[in-house]
Amino acid sequence: MKLAVELTGEGAVFVAADAGCDLADVGDLTKPDPAALGHLVYSIPGAKNILEMPPMTAQVTRFKCGGFALGLAMNHCMFDGLGAMEFVNSWAETARGAVELTVPPFLDRTLLRARDPPVISFEHHEFEEIPDVSDTAALYADQDLLYRSFCFDPDRLERVRALALAGAGAENGDDLVGGRCTTFEALSGLVWRARTRALGLAPEQRTKLLFAVDGRRRFEPPLPRGYFGNGIVLTNAATRARPSLASTLLITTWSRLAFHGADFGWGAPAMSGPVTLPEKEVILFLAHGEERKSINVLLGLPASAMDAFQELMDEI
């Protein structure tokens, strides 16, 4: 199905709400919590699929303490995380009275239009469906889904990198003390492996790890600055759930998305982040701390698996 937006001039859905509590009463804002934070984002009543949902809704909630929250529901078919960030920051610049935007939107979507007729140059394993021989569907159906965040400060991230290099060296029979491994690679390997163990996947279970990669600078030619759309591509790694490996999931990172800098005239926000994760198979990396050098790992798991995952994280 090819989706298109009909421009009717009706504008976006905007909701103003008042909360009978202080912002501090909302609780822990560092992790997804659909039950509590879901009240801060407007959902279209009765909407069952993407065709019944507007491209974007915005809700401003005022708290008794004087603070407020801006809750956005944005359709990923419209734009990716970078596009969403640039939109929010441009909106904030406009609210502060800016005459020109720092990053004007580039709206020509034809740059990524499919060839006519379409040409498939190689296999796309990232879209391949994998049989659930471990019956994890039953685990998710029988238990509550719990969301938690796990903070990795710079020292802990360095330990994760050291473990990744030591593990790779042991498997290859090499000394990789001087080897190279990015923080994202090391942390992705850690959570992929831990999630597989926590879910108790069968040894013969095929698994797949997906990465959302920003392709803007990687395309030939690169996409123009401010491209407003989806410039991401999915890359993947596939294996079986041997004890040294782990589970199937999509890892995406917001660590370089500057939502925390969106100043609508009252200063930078106290916090920014997701209300929930889009799917149970998604893990999100968020920058954390004043200097943005720590990473919060956000994920959801069935209750028993989350307890097991917590124990594995406590060992790091």
Q: Could you write out the DSSP letters of every residue in 162-218?
A: HHHHHHHHHHHTS--TT----HHHHHHHHHHHHHHHHHT--TT-EEEEEEEEE-TTT
User: For residue 11, what are the contacts with CB-CB under 8 A and spacing of at least 6?
Assistant: none
28 is catalytic: no
125 is catalytic: no
**Residue 96 DSSP class:** T
Q: Which of 18, 22, 76, 124 is catalytic?
A: 76
Q: Which of 33, 132, 214, 263 is catalytic?
A: 263
Say which residue the tokens 């060296």 belong to.
Answer: 169
The count of other CB atoms within 10 Å of the CB of residue 259 is 21
Q: Is the peptide bond before 269 cis (omega within 30 degrees of 0)?
A: no
Phi, psi of 133 (to 5 degrees): -75, -15
| Catalytic sites, residue numbers | 76, 263
